[in-house]
Amino acid sequence: MTYINKGVPGIDQYITLNEPDVGAVLPKELYPQNAEVPMLFKPLTIRGVTFHNRIFVSPMCQFSSDNGHATDWHFVHIGGFATRGVGAVCMEATAVVPEGRISPQDAGLWADSQIAPLKRIVNFVHAHGVKIGVQLSHAGRKASTTASWLRFNSDRTAKTAKYIAEAEEGGWPDRVFAPSEIQFSPEYPKPKAISEEQIQAVVDAFGQAAERCKAAGFDFIEIHAAHGYLLHSFNSPLSNTRTDQYGGSLENRLRFPLQAIERVRAVWDKPLFVRISATEWAEGPEQDPTTGEWKSWGIEQSKIYVGELKKLGVDLVDCSTGGNWIKQKITSVPGYQVPFAEALKKTYPDLPIGAVGMITEPEQAESYLREGKADIVSLAREFIRQPHWAILAADKLGVAVKAANQYERGFPHLIGARHP
């Protein structure tokens, strides 16, 4: 009998073929412990795309792009997760226009030349049977800022006292746009109120970036409408004091984000996710109990917003919080954002909801799915600390999943569990 170390078919280099896909549950006939599979490791199919488990890698800003182009850092960073058992990887906030970047070294998809380095990453991820998406974004009033480690690095010394990336540092502080001329904080650039004509240009840019996502081969798109960036800042009466059709009433404040999302949906027939901030953690009630006036952005408006997203054909809402109000007061405890995901799930039981935020333990993540609080979990910092989190979670939850051929020797107890 001949034994061949088979490669993945149809690609331009040799990559060993994993059967089944990395992170997939191994057959129960060989692994009796897999007769009952934890929710974390049950496949999820959205709009014809099947994710082999419900552990997603959240977008993580890397501040490592070359004029918006992905580099080998991204290839290693993203590719590494694809070999370690996750269901999906979502690439970092990727600007649809140059001035929509958070920092001068942020990712972009405003030019065709940015497609090829992304496609190289996508092809590698697909070779391991993993799905990959990208988070399309516009930073709004939080644009033209410096990389995080310039402000505070690991030895707790600040290299710069400011957040603004000046023109001589590659920034564009005079081309920062927001709903209104309200700074996020004194350390951030003072924005200009974006005009209606410029709003339509950004809407078009989202659509054009989605077309480039097709060429790159992404499996899903996530629209970044959270954390105080441009789309989210239009939601809130604290950052949006406009008096035109894009400000004032809730309907008006939602208009621009919904237009951008609708434009992407019109050209994108694969899964479309939207990340929202369900609250901005401002003090006081979200709505004045006497007048009915909305005072800040919170869960009740988020429920209405998500209803509109559902009407547009959004396939999953990735529920985060915060980032728009500099005076936010958050008690950060494990799973502190999950109650907001649960509230959205109860309101829209048939809409997939993602939970994020200080999810570090497998039993914790599993409980959120088992209790119907969310349909997927997304992790970021925990994956930085432990890239093999998904495989280790499977072991802890008592299920055998496929490790990459090259890494199986690191998990001999999984192979040892096999029965004839």
Q: What is the CA radius of gyration of the chain?
A: 22
Residue-wise pLDDT tens digits, 324-334? 999 999 988 99
Distance separating alpha carbons of residues 284 and 293, to the nearest angstrom: 13
14 belongs to the catalytic site: no
Q: What is the pLDDT, as a whole number, of residue 111?
A: 98
Q: Side chain identity at 102, as an amino acid letter?
A: I
Q: What is the pLDDT, as a whole number, of residue 12?
A: 87
* Residue 377 in this model has a pLDDT that exceeds 70: yes
Share of the chain above pLDDT 70, in %: 96
Q: What is the pLDDT, as a whole number, of residue 156?
A: 64
Q: What is the pLDDT, as a whole number, of residue 159?
A: 66
* Residue 416 in this model has a pLDDT that exceeds 60: no
Q: What is the pLDDT, as a whole number, of residue 418?
A: 52
Of 188, 229, 246, 305, the active-site residue reads 229
Please state, in angstroms and as integers, the Cα–Cα distance from residue 328 to each residue in 58, 322, 323, 381, following that order. Answer: 22, 7, 8, 21
Say which residue, 102 or 158, is predicted with more confidence.
102
| pLDDT classification of 417: cutoffs 50, 70, 90 | low
Domains and CATH numbers, the chain: 45-399 (3.20.20.70)
| pLDDT classification of 1: cutoffs 50, 70, 90 | confident
* Residue 420 in this model has a pLDDT that exceeds 50: no
* Residue 384 in this model has a pLDDT that exceeds 70: yes
Write the burial class of residue 392 (CB in 10 Å: 0-12 exposed, 13-18 middle, 19+ buried): middle
Q: What is the pLDDT, as a whole number, of residue 292?
A: 96
Share of the chain above pLDDT 90, in %: 90
Q: What is the pLDDT, as a whole number, of residue 157?
A: 67
3-state helix, strand, coil in the chain (%, to 5): 35, 15, 50
| pLDDT classification of 151: cutoffs 50, 70, 90 | confident
What kind and span of H or E run contains 132? strand 131-137
The rounded mean pLDDT for the chain is 95
Residue 170: name the closest of 324, 286, 65, 309 by CA: 65
- Highest mean pLDDT out of 20-24, 158-162, 207-211: 207-211
Q: 10 Å Cβ neighbour count for 28?
A: 14
Between helices 196-216 and 250-267, what is the axis angle to 10°?
Answer: 30
User: Across 32-102, where does the E strand assignment appear?
Assistant: 44-46, 49-51, 55-57, 88-95
Q: 344-348: long-range contacts at Cβ-Cβ below 8 A with a sequence spacing of 24 or more?
A: 344/278, 344/302, 344/303, 344/306, 344/317, 344/319, 345/372, 345/373, 345/374, 345/375, 347/303, 347/306, 347/307, 348/306, 348/307, 348/310
What integer is the mean pLDDT of 99-109?
A: 98
For 10, left (φ over 0), alpha (ψ -120 to 50), or beta?
A: left
